[in-house]
Amino acid sequence: MLSQSALSARVARQPVAGQPVPSEPVPSEPVPSEPASSDLPAMTESVAIVEQRYDRAGLWVAIVVTFGWYLAGVAPVVVDSWLRYGLNASGAVTWLLFAVLGVVAAVVVLRGGGRSPVLPLVICPILLAGSVLGSLVSPDGVLGQFDWPFTMVGWFAVLALWRRRLPELIAFYAANVMIGGVILATLGEASRVNVGRFIALCCGISALQITVFCGSRMVTAMARRGAEAADELARTRSVNIAAEAVQAARRSRYETITGTVAHLLEGLAAGQLDLTDRSARQEVAVAVTRLRRYLVESDEVPDQLWHELQVCADAAERQGIAVDLVAPAGLIPTLPVDVRRALTEPIIAALAATATKARITVIASPGEVVVAILADARLDAPPPSLHGAVESSHDAEGEMLWLQARWMSPSASPS
Amino acid sequence: MASSTLDEPIRIALIEDTDVVVEGVRAWLAADPQDRVVIVAAGDSIEAVLTGPGESVDVAVLDLELNGTMVTDRVAELSDLGYRVVVFSVHVKPLVVQAVMKAGACAFLDKRTEREQFVDTVVAVAQDWPYVTPSMAGGLLQGVRLSDRERQALQYLFQGMDQGSIARRLRKPDGQPVSVTTVKTYIERARAKFAAAGRPCRSNYALLARCVEDGLIRPEEVDDYRPGTA
């Protein structure tokens, strides 16, 4: 037990500058080695949204044209026919049936359906039947204005086949044209002029529909490719950013480790480092323990500070020191790496100077962590604090050294 | 069961499954110049040790892990039976320490580092003194409201300082170090508060009675203190 004069107590609270070791900026948390994969599904989703938006725009064009023409162009013809030839021959029932089918098809495809063959298999045969019926009962023949079903089914087929392949639409048109041609011939209307008019009519009732159908597909595909390119660009950028962060963290670690061991290795190589000298041995012990701590700093464990202290204690035990690392009193809060370094650095320095035994304790609360060591150590100058929020103090009494590093949360007021 | 003087040696039962530890304890007791403690029963089973001569011992020393089984939950049962339990274990996590102390254990000794305090601890516990080992200090730091000085004294004790070193670090407002007696008072008051907040069992009552008797704590500070039961 020493006299009062033998007791020296100092409190160090200094910035990082001047400390020979972790002098390089370091990331406060371990950097992920892979880019954040959680962003990728969101990007793919954005491509799907763009594609869906363009597809719907094309679909609305087809719906507006179909129903616009059906109301403005066909409805007056039906009314005219009704007035002239009566209800039965007017085709009003067919008009209503087609209107219902058209609405059903539009609603289904607007909701994203119509990919299975069910919708076209239900609607297309009815459309063709309506077309045949219209041609047969039309008062002015296949080419007359009252055979509107023959010309109109193509638009409804576009809606019913909106999510199906182009050949299916073409097959529908071919079937409609063939049936129309057969009826034309059967009814004896196939004069040379009429055949010419029929061919022109057939071109007129399919070309625009196919153009709308294909045009929408092309515009949608272009939009999807554009979105995919933007998506890929964003993904590449995020990969680059992550790679740069990983590289920066590696460079930082490399520079930190180099700063720790390079001069020692140079000293050993040049024969200038005298390992019989106590301070040189302490310096080597500090470097070795720091290296071991660096190796575990990015380990994913529940209690990082405790994990790092265990590594420091283990390094000292390998030097033959009996270390009593007591389980922490209280729960250690999550601390950034620079705070953890500031807390372990004095312990590393004290362990390097310890002769035979040391007791390391941690007392923790949400706003305060106190790491202390009591050891038979002779430490000429304990290291200054590496962090503004970490205060270190020490006290020597005979052969025994007590050294404490205390972190206080910036939000907690000092007691 | 309490032995207020040491006219006769303190009789202990040692519940421990490792023969070498039993032999070690016998050696420490034999090395005590005053022969203050004797083992009257030893073995690796609570039931076997505490029947026969072990039934009326002053202190029961209990290893927390017997033949691979943790017996932490037996501490409360032994305390209720009126035994003064000293836990002697390697399981020194503050939460474990706190749990057995709350269950009624009188003291906790770390098998690895506090062997030298074995005799002193047993003697203190046998006389219901509010004795605190460094490993106990970690458990006492939590779960009970302490004054700043009491907390500080316990922190230094937990860190491994002896009472003389703690006294030098705890300074009065005029800058002078406090006395060792004052440090002892801080620590014992913290122990008494922990007992007052603990289970109503014989060991806690006896300790509180002793603290009141010594003027360490006032009866009105102990909510459920009942002198007749101590």
User: Position A39: which residue type?
Assistant: D
Distance CA B57, CA B39 (A): 9
B138 CB within 8 Å of a chain A CB: yes
Query: Encoding tokens for residue A397?
Result: 């009494």
Q: Are strands A400-408 and A368-377 parallel, antiparallel or unpaired?
A: antiparallel
Cross-chain Cβ contact A363/B168 below 8 Å: no
Phi, psi of B190 (to 5 degrees): -60, -40
Is A3 near chain B, with CB under 8 Å?
A: no
Q: Which of A324, A370, A415 sits opposite B112 (nearest CB)?
A: A324
Residues of chain A found within 8 Å of residue B161, distances taken between Cβ atoms? 374, 402
Chain A contact present for B168, CB below 8 A: yes
Taking CA A81 as the corner, what is the angle to CA A76 and CA A85, rounded to the nearest 5 degrees?
A: 160
Mean pLDDT of B173-182: 87
Sign of the four-CA dihedral B131, B133, B138, B139: negative
Confidence at residue B222, expressed as pLDDT on a 0 to 100 scale = 67
CA distance, residue B179 to nearest chain A CA (Å): 13
Q: B161–A374: do the CB atoms touch at under 8 Å?
A: yes
Q: Which amino acid is at B19?
A: D
Q: Which strands sit side by side in the sheet containing A400-408, from one edge to the other? A: A8-12, A390-397, A400-408, A368-377, A354-365, A322-325
Q: Is the pLDDT of residue B137 over 60?
A: yes
Chain centre distance of CA B211: 14
Beta carbons of A371 and A341 less than 8 angstroms apart: no
User: Between residues 329 and 348 of chain A, which touch chain B (CB distance below 8 Å)?
Assistant: 329-330
Does residue B141 sit at the A interface (CB-CB below 8 Å)? yes
Portion 32-91 of B in contact with A at CB < 8 A: none
**A 347-366 residues inside an 8 A Cβ radius of B:** 359, 361, 363
φ, ψ (nearest 5 deg) of residue A367: -110, 5
Partner residue facing B168 (CB), from A7, A361, A363: A7
Going by pLDDT thresholds of 50, 70 and 90, the confidence category of residue B6 is low
Q: Minimal Cα distance from A397: which residue of B?
A: B165
Q: What is the pLDDT of residue A38?
A: 43
Answer yes or no: is pLDDT of B224 > 50: no
Give bridge partners of residue B15 from the DSSP assignment: B43, B62
User: In this structure, which long-range contacts are made by residues B82-85, counting pairs with CB atoms below 8 Å and at least 24 apart in sequence?
Assistant: B82/B1, B82/B202, B83/B50, B83/B57, B83/B59, B83/B203, B84/B1, B84/B58, B84/B59, B84/B60, B84/B125, B84/B126, B84/B128, B84/B203, B84/B206, B85/B59, B85/B60, B85/B61, B85/B203
Q: What is the mean pLDDT of residues B3-29?
A: 84
- To test the contact with chain A by mutation, choose from B158, B159, B161 the residue with the greatest count of A C-beta atoms within 10 A, namely B159
Contacts of A402 in chain B (CB under 8 A): 159-161, 165
| Cβ–Cβ gap B94/A397 under 8 Å | no
- CB–CB of A395 and B112 under 8 A? no
Position A271 scores a pLDDT of: 82
For residue A395, the chain B residues in CB contact (below 8 A) are: 165, 168-169
Q: What is the pLDDT of residues B157-176, one digit of tens each?
A: 999 999 899 998 888 888 88
DSSP string, A175-235: HHHHHHHHHHHHTT---HHHHHHHHHHHHHTTHHHHHHHHHHHHHHHHHHHHHHHHHHHHH
Task: Give the 3-state secondary structure of residue B61.
Answer: strand
Hey, is the C-beta of A269 within 8 angstroms of any chain B C-beta? Answer: no
Distance CA A62, CA A93 (A): 23
pLDDT digits (tens, 9 = 90+) for B76-115: 989 888 899 999 999 888 889 988 988 889 999 998 877 7
Using a 10 angstrom Cβ sphere, with 0-12 exposed, 13-18 middle and 19 or more buried, the burial of residue B5 is exposed
pLDDT digits (tens, 9 = 90+) for A145-200: 888 898 899 999 999 999 999 999 999 999 999 998 998 888 888 788 888 988 99
CB A290 within 8 A of CB A262: no
Which of B113, B138, B161 has its CB closest to that of A329? B138
What is the per-residue pLDDT for A36? 42
pLDDT of residue B223: 61
Collect all residues of chain B within an 8 Å Cβ-Cβ radius of residue A303. none
How many alpha carbons fall within 13 Å on the CB side of residue A229?
6
Stretch (H or E) spanning B123: helix B118-126
* Contact assessment for residue A344 and residue A305, using Cβ atoms and an 8 Å cutoff: yes
Is A329 close to B160, i.e. CB distance below 8 A? Answer: no
pLDDT the model gives residue A20: 40
Alpha-carbon distances of A368 from A70, A349, B5, B116, B181, rounded to whole Å = 78, 22, 44, 32, 29
List average pLDDT for each run of 10 residues in chain A, which is 415 residues long. Answer: 37 37 41 43 71 91 93 90 81 90 94 90 92 84 83 92 93 92 86 88 88 92 91 92 89 79 83 81 87 85 92 93 92 91 93 94 93 91 83 89 92 56
Mutation site, A361, A365, A400, A406, interface B, largest B CB count within 10 A: A361
- Check if the beta carbon of residue B68 is closer than 8 Å to that of residue B93: no
CA distance B94 to chain A (A): 5
- Joined tokens for residue A380: 């000429």
- Report chain B residues whose CB lies below 8 A from the CB of A326: 92, 135, 138, 158
Residue B5 has pLDDT above 70, yes or no: no
Q: Tell me the chain A residues in contact with residue B92 when contact means C-beta distances shorter than 8 Å.
A: 326-327
DSSP tag of B12: E
Q: Who's near A208: CB < 8 A, 6+ residues apart? A: none
d(CA A179, CA B8): 124
